[in-house]
């Protein structure tokens, strides 16, 4: 069953087109990832999908019903987990859940039982009656997610839910999302972490400058890059000169700089690696580390946008 259908989504702020012709769909039980760097248009897109933000063009259907900022019933099918913590610090975890549950029209008896379930899922049973302001960052993030799950939505939208979270809490969050998808929930997950997209998402849309540049399963996307590997090296010196020199090498198809590192997409990376290092050294640069990485979503991002994901 198709839970979310998005087509022709567009949003413009004066001269800036934040989202342009974005379209995709998500089936129940599927996790769809929007992968892109900060400022790519992910949050703007999901704000329109969740009915928070007026759109200039396009259509959003959730469970077959159109969603706009004025919609009421269709919004009950959506669970939203905003990027910023959206909880009340002075309320306890249980009170936070109860308040938002009431807004979704849950009856008192159903709410009470469901709150206990959600507290179990997010691992806050023991802290249910503590005020959220006393929680660690990770616990607050989990509560933030729990609120989105409370009313058993058809579609759960998570906007970069692991930003600023410690590794242990991040893993707990990712496990929760995997569990929800396994139960049949459709999940729209935005992130700029390639690892998260690779681990969680059945399909990924690579978004940059408001446009979805590529879309598909991980295998489909990686096939776009072909059998090419990524060479990631850190170096000091004039990296711009290094980049120009490396682009001229046979077998290098893409090259980009970010911070103090250079990323290359190359055929038979292991074979040309000595040439790459020699070329870099020839420009006067000092290479401090080098890594050959088999094709992944980051390589795909570099391939389709011409720049590294963390740019």
Distance of closest approach, residue 59 Cβ to other proteins, in angstroms? 18
Q: Is there binding between residue 166 and other proteins (CB under 8 A)? A: no
Interface positions, 190-249, toward other proteins (CB under 8 A): none
Q: Would you say 95 or 178 has its CB closer to other proteins?
A: 95
Candidate segments 49-57, 114-122, 181-189, 235-243, binder of other proteins by CB under 8 A: 49-57
143-166 burial by CB neighbour count: b if 16+ within 10 A, else e? Answer: bbbbbbbbbbbbbbbbbbbbeebe
Q: Of these, 48, 76, 188, 235, which contacts other proteins (CB under 8 A)?
A: 76
Q: Of these, 72, 126, 129, 219, which contacts other proteins (CB under 8 A)?
A: 72
- Per DSSP, the three-state class of 159 is strand
User: Distance between the two ends of the chain, CA-based, in angstroms?
Assistant: 36
Determine what percent of the chain falls in helix, strand and coil, rounding each to the nearest 5: 40, 30, 30
Q: Is there binding between residue 85 and other proteins (CB under 8 A)? A: yes
Site track for other proteins across 169-198, x = CB under 8 A:
------------------------------
32 forms beta bridges with: 188, 203
Q: Is there binding between residue 146 and other proteins (CB under 8 A)? A: no
Q: Is there binding between residue 50 and other proteins (CB under 8 A)? A: yes
Q: Would you say 74 or 295 has its CB closer to other proteins?
A: 74
Question: What residue ranges bind other proteins (CB under 8 A)?
Answer: 47, 50-53, 69-76, 78, 80, 82, 84-88, 90-91, 95, 99-100, 102-105, 131, 147
């Amino acid at each position: 069953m198709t839970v979310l259908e998005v087509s022709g989504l567009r949003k413009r702020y004066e001269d800036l087109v934040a989202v342009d012709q974005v379209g995709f769909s998500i089936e129940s039980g599927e996790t769809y990832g929007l992968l892109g760097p900060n400022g790519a248009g992910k949050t703007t897109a999901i704000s329109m999908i969740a009915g928070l933000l007026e759109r200039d063009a396009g259509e959003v259907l959730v469970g077959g019903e159109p969603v706009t900022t004025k919609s009421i019933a269709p919004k009950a099918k959506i669970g939203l987990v905003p990027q910023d913590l959206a909880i009340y610090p002075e309320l306890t975890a249980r009170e936070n859940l109860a308040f938002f549950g009431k807004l979704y029209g849950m009856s008192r008896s159903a709410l009470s039982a469901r709150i206990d379930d959600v507290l179990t899922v997010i691992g806050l049973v023991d802290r249910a009656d503590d005020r959220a302001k006393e929680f660690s960052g990770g616990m607050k993030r989990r509560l933030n997610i729990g609120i989105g799950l409370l009313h058993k939505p058809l579609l759960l939208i998570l906007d970069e839910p692991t930003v600023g979270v410690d590794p242990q809490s991040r893993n707990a969050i990712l496990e929760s999302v995997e569990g929800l998808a396994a139960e049949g929930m459709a999940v729209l997950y935005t992130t700029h972490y390639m690892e998260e997209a690779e681990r969680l998402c059945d399909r990924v849309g690579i978004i940059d400058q408001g446009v979805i540049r590529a879309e598909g399963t991980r295998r489909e996307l990686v096939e776009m890059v072909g059998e090419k590997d990524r060479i990631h090296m850190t170096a000091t010196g004039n990296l711009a000169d290094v980049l120009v020199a490396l682009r001229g090498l046979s077998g290098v198809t893409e090259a980009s700089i970010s911070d103090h590192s250079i990323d290359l997409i190359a055929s038979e990376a292991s074979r040309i690696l000595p040439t790459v290092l020699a070329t870099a050294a020839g420009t006067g640069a000092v290479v401090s580390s080098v890594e050959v990485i088999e094709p992944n979503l980051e390589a795909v991002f570099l391939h389709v946008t011409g720049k590294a994901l963390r740019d």
